[in-house]
Structure 1
Amino acid sequence: MAVGAFTEGTPAGGGEGYSGRVTPFVVLSCVVAGSGGVLFGYDLGISGGITTMDSFLMSFFPGVYRQKQDTKISHYCQFDSELLTLFTSSLYIAGLVATLVASSVTRRFGRRSSMLIGGTVFIVGSVFGGAAINLSMLLLNRILLGIGLGFTNQSIPLYLSEMAPPRYRGAINNGFELCISLGILFANILNYFVVKITAGWGWRISLSMAAVPAAFLTIGAIFLPETPSFIIQRDGDSEKARVLLQKLRGTISVQKELDDLVSASNISRTTQYPFRNIFKRKYRPQLVIALLIPFFNQVTGINVMNFYAPVLFTTIGFKESTSLLSSVVTRVCATFANIIAMMVVDRFGRRKLFLVGGVQMILSQFTVGAILAAKFKDHGDMDKDYVYLVLITMCVFVAGFAWSWGPLTFLVPAEVCPLEIRSAGQSIVVAVVFLMTFVIGQTFLAVLCRIKSATFFVFGGWICLMTLFVYLFLPETKKLPMEQMEQVWRRHWFWKKIVGEEEEKKQAEEGEIALPSL
């Protein structure tokens, strides 16, 4: 079979026999849950903005402030500080640890419980940020936010995927990425205005306002229903799940979907150790995707824009206020791209968006690297025309990410993992995201100082590799019910060799086929 076979078009099954529509009840539940994405986005966006504010730097990072004023230091090295990058990236180490704990909580006590814990911890962390008077309080703020994000990022994509009708699952799950973009946009806009506060305490507003979306999520989660999958898995109450499904789907004809959920739950109950089981051969495709998709997501360089867009724009010649405004512009582009992704992901499929977005990001990163290599030196300003060209190219880059790798990083692993390993798979995704976010956040400024414009060629090379991975190894999963996802592996040119052999071995052990004599 040719490479890429069974990677285009709608998978067999397509949710046939499932009834229903997107009801207001589904929309309301997913809006409340998706607001957790605003938390993640807000925190991604807020840190990069306040680290360019002179008042913030003078209070906590005076060494970096002095570097900014020193004309003898290379533009590429003005913000090079391990302590400053620790402020940005410490959150993600805390999130990495928290998401491993969150997996057990989500599996045993439900998706809603994890959201409540995450939102509550996030509120407490926001208080420490707004009231910080020393570096210890500032780092405690970041650690608490990381714990909150570890719980919410682990549970919310699962919740959205399990609540959504199969044929609209991509659009609804992509709402999480839209919320992330909106959170970054709100943070960038707020930073732009608070930097104008001459008294120098505007950064306190930026850090403390994170409590607003956290409170919305926490209060809303109190009233959210659990997902039908979890109700069956925990209580074995198929009648209660039927009533909820009928309310979610707006129809009484939910028997086929209910039967699939009950079957998946029965298999799930036989799996006591999801983290141990996900390493079994039959789950090899899901494990590889849960590891590589979030890894590639981070090595695109997107968090350079999320964390350090204001720093980057300041580096290439924009003033403090203008650099913050430029960050707003790039995020507006990303937000529109997120909306486009929600509209087309269930029509065109996951693979096409991955591939088109990958090519768009490759061209963007190589273009930025070439402009900086040719026109931006260690000292002196770059011509304004080229500065704006870099800004436009960055807008193209974030748009490409926002309709492909951004939303699909959380959607695809959540939908391909069967119920018995779903919480473990999602924890791996979030853990890899947090680990790589920490690595990128902690090293980018140092790398930029040392290899300068070549940094963007490195990101471009990684995007080439991950686009090839999608082309060769990622099957299409649009509109296929999560409980029927195993068929994509049996038809894929590569994965069928692995899961097919595992299935034959299982049948042989059960006596359904005879092992060949030796």
Structure 2
Amino acid sequence: MAGGGIAGAPGVGKNYPGKLTAKVLTTCIVAAFGGLIFGYDLGISGGVTSMDSFLSQFFPSVYAKESSVTASDDQYCKFDSEKLTFFTSSLYIAALASSIVASSITRKMGRRVTMMLGGLLFFIGAIINAAANHVWMLYFGRILLGFGIGCANQSVPIYVSEMAPYKYRGALNIMFQMSITIGILVANLLNYFFAKIPGGWGWRLSLGGAFVPALIILVGSFFLSETPNSLIEREKYDEAKEFLLKIRGVDNVDEEFNDLVAASEASRKVKHPWANITKRQYRPQLTMAIFIPLFQQLTGMNVFVFYAPVLFKTMGFGANASLMSALITSIVNMVATLVSIFSVDKYGRRTLFLEGGIQMFICQMVMTVAIAVKFGTTGNPGVLPQWYATLVVVAMCIYIAGFAWSWGPLGWLVPSEIFPLEIRSAAQSINVSVNMLLTFVVAQVFTAMLCHMKFGLFIFFSVWVVIMTIFIHKLLPETKGVPIEEMNIVWQKHPFWRKYVKPAEDRDECEMGGKTPSV
């Protein structure tokens, strides 16, 4: 890790000169569109699985159970099918596998190549899904989509964090999450209209529409420049310095450039980053790489995104009404993410994490009571009054807003900015892998959990929200305004982590190889 000087910094770290240039802004926007493929898939899968024509063709047993519901049936269990949930969740186990491979590609060939590969795989998967006539084609297409998402989620947050001036890193990185929310909104909007197409083939347009965001990231990657960090990592020093001058918009970038070179030289001493990340000095980063994505999924947010139409349909909304409710919540998700973009570099990461956690917990309690009173343990709501349905949707919207300006964007931002270069690709791979593994598990077991836990499912997620809020309060230091290559200083100052992380000058070069000389 580059030095730990703090002179002249706004809090901690060095105060590198740099402007928010048009080059940086346009480059980060294009890269952040990699989030579109993730968001589109999140939104499209839940809507498609609530379309009768899709269910009748590929999952007839679920369709028969869903279409013959009577007043005596348990509404909680209408969509309980492992085959159906595997349609959604198979993508995320594939993303987990590809993120591990993408780690090496990102390190050796650059961030841009990894993004390009992600777009290509997602494009092929979208075409196969649109043309599917058999369940195996759906699964195969979903796996290719997952490979694409794993590549994009591995490379885009790192790319944006490395390109952005530290003063604007939070806002620019959250553009990735903003693209995810735009993808969710577009997917829900298309689902709503495609479901009305006569003949019941609208689901093909929904699934096939994924080729559009795939093309955006695929074509956009051709016009992107590689990050200075990646160029230095591959020993292209002159090119890296020239590009750093261009994107910072100033006459002198020697201090930042020298620190990037120092960080790169330190990273080259690490022959095995996967083994190195387990060392004591990287304990804080490893902890965050595991627990932040784990907690992000245990908020329950992705359950609502995946299955919002199914969930609303289960609550007694009609098919079109359930799609409309999902559309409303996705609009809230996108607007609330804008709040995060304009506030994260002003109020800091910890403040948004903590406020969002409290807001989500309160709303989950409201939803628990509302569903428990109306559905009870039998799952037979009778006629759901309009005002009651509105209450559930409003509570869910406020919950989604809390997530969208806290754990949603910050779950990607914070891990991408805290890893030193020598372990960055491996640590980001762990971050994505944990995220995808938990996404897979939650998506796969959600309908079974809803069937067996009933309204207790919301209590389950609310308990995790309490735990993760305490975790942030106790263990996450504020990273606002700290240059990415100077992040070590925040751990050295933290009352818990400082016993693990020592200043660079206190660590001998041999420590990288696992040896410490006697003194």
Instruction: Report the TM-score when normalising by structure 2.
Output: 0.94
1:416/1:280 CA distance change after superposition, 3 Å: same
Q: Does 1:212 align with 2:198?
A: no
CA contact (8 A) 1:36 1:179 kept: yes
**Partner residue of 2:465?**
463
Q: Which piece of structure 1 moves more, 344-353 or 239-248?
A: 239-248
Residue 31 of structure 1 and its aligned partner are, at CA, apart by 1.5
1:76/1:247 CA distance change after superposition, 3 Å: same
**Partner residue of 2:228?**
228
**Partner residue of 1:398?**
400
SS of structure 1 residue aligned to 2:226 = coil
CA contact (8 A) 2:35 2:180 kept: yes
1:439/1:513 CA distance change after superposition, 3 Å: closer
1:185-225 CA-to-partner distances (Å, cap 9, x unmatched) read 00000000001112100000000010011111111101210
Residue 311 of structure 1 and its aligned partner are, at CA, apart by 0.5
Query: Partners of 1:512 and 1:335 in 2: how far apart?
Result: 50
**Partner residue of 2:39?**
41
Residue 513 of structure 1 and its aligned partner are, at CA, apart by 9.9
Question: Identity over the aligned pairs, expressed in percent?
Answer: 50
**Partner residue of 2:89?**
89
Residue number among 44, 49, 52 corresponding to 2:50 in the alignment: 52
Q: Does 1:389 align with 2:391?
A: yes
1:324-352 CA-to-partner distances (Å, cap 9, x unmatched) read 11111111111111111000101111000
1:126-158 CA-to-partner distances (Å, cap 9, x unmatched) read 110110001011111100000001111100000
Aligned partner letter, 2:387: D
Query: Partners of 1:42 and 1:325 in 2: how far apart?
Result: 16
Query: Partners of 1:514 and 1:225 in 2: how far apart?
Result: 45
Residue 180 of structure 1 and its aligned partner are, at CA, apart by 0.3
1:463-492 CA-to-partner distances (Å, cap 9, x unmatched) read 000000000000000010011111111110
Query: Partners of 2:299 and 2:395 in 1: how far apart?
Result: 14
Gaps of 5+ in 1: 1-9
Aligned partner letter, 1:439: V
**Partner residue of 1:376?**
375
1:388/1:89 CA distance change after superposition, 3 Å: same
Gaps of 5+ in 2: 1-8
**Partner residue of 1:316?**
315
Q: Does 1:189 align with 2:201?
A: no
Query: Partners of 1:32 and 1:349 in 2: how far apart?
Result: 25
Residue number among 435, 438, 441 corresponding to 1:436 in the alignment: 438
SS of structure 1 residue aligned to 2:252 = coil
CA contact (8 A) 1:125 1:144 kept: yes
1:321/1:249 CA distance change after superposition, 3 Å: same
**Partner residue of 2:5?**
none
Q: Which piece of structure 1 moves more, 102-111 or 66-75?
A: 66-75
**Partner residue of 2:303?**
304
Residue 266 of structure 1 and its aligned partner are, at CA, apart by 0.8
Aligned partner letter, 1:462: W
Aligned partner letter, 2:385: D
Aligned partner letter, 1:60: F
1:148/1:383 CA distance change after superposition, 3 Å: same
Aligned partner letter, 1:234: R
Residue 381 of structure 1 and its aligned partner are, at CA, apart by 3.0
1:509/1:303 CA distance change after superposition, 3 Å: closer
CA contact (8 A) 1:11 1:478 kept: no
Residue 28 of structure 1 and its aligned partner are, at CA, apart by 1.4
Query: Partners of 1:367 and 1:198 in 2: how far apart?
Result: 39
Residue 122 of structure 1 and its aligned partner are, at CA, apart by 0.6
1:435-470 CA-to-partner distances (Å, cap 9, x unmatched) read 000010001100100110010011000000000000
CA contact (8 A) 2:77 2:448 kept: yes
**Partner residue of 2:11?**
12
Describe how 1:10-409 pairs up with structure 2 within 5 A.
12-16=11-15, 18-68=16-66, 69-71=68-70, 72-235=72-235, 237-377=236-376, 378-379=379-380, 380-409=382-411
**Partner residue of 1:451?**
453
Give the root-mean-square deviation of aligned CA atoms.
1.8
**Partner residue of 1:3?**
none
Aligned partner letter, 2:351: K
**Partner residue of 1:425?**
427
Q: Which piece of structure 1 moves more, 455-464 or 242-251?
A: 242-251
SS of structure 2 residue aligned to 1:20 = coil
SS of structure 1 residue aligned to 2:188 = helix
SS of structure 1 residue aligned to 2:157 = helix
CA contact (8 A) 1:11 1:477 kept: no
CA contact (8 A) 2:12 2:490 kept: no
CA contact (8 A) 1:376 1:382 kept: no
CA contact (8 A) 2:95 2:146 kept: yes
Residue number among 409, 414, 428 corresponding to 1:412 in the alignment: 414
Aligned partner letter, 1:38: L
Residue 502 of structure 1 and its aligned partner are, at CA, apart by 10
Query: Partners of 2:430 and 2:199 in 1: how far apart?
Result: 44
Aligned residues: 504
SS of structure 2 residue aligned to 1:499 = coil
Query: Partners of 1:503 and 1:392 in 2: how far apart?
Result: 54
1:125/1:362 CA distance change after superposition, 3 Å: same
SS of structure 2 residue aligned to 1:412 = helix
Query: Partners of 1:509 and 1:51 in 2: how far apart?
Result: 53
Residue 15 of structure 1 and its aligned partner are, at CA, apart by 3.8
Aligned partner letter, 1:54: D
Aligned partner letter, 1:102: A
Residue 382 of structure 1 and its aligned partner are, at CA, apart by 2.8
Residue number among 490, 495, 498 corresponding to 2:497 in the alignment: 495
Query: Partners of 1:134 and 1:505 in 2: how far apart?
Result: 59
1:320/1:270 CA distance change after superposition, 3 Å: same
Q: Which piece of structure 1 moves more, 237-246 or 343-352?
A: 237-246
Aligned partner letter, 1:120: L
Query: Partners of 2:141 and 2:186 in 1: how far apart?
Result: 19
SS of structure 1 residue aligned to 2:198 = coil
Aligned partner letter, 1:32: V
1:505/1:423 CA distance change after superposition, 3 Å: closer
**Partner residue of 2:6?**
none
Aligned partner letter, 2:25: V
1:509/1:234 CA distance change after superposition, 3 Å: closer
Residue 240 of structure 1 and its aligned partner are, at CA, apart by 1.2
SS of structure 1 residue aligned to 2:197 = coil
Residue 256 of structure 1 and its aligned partner are, at CA, apart by 1.4
1:225/1:375 CA distance change after superposition, 3 Å: same
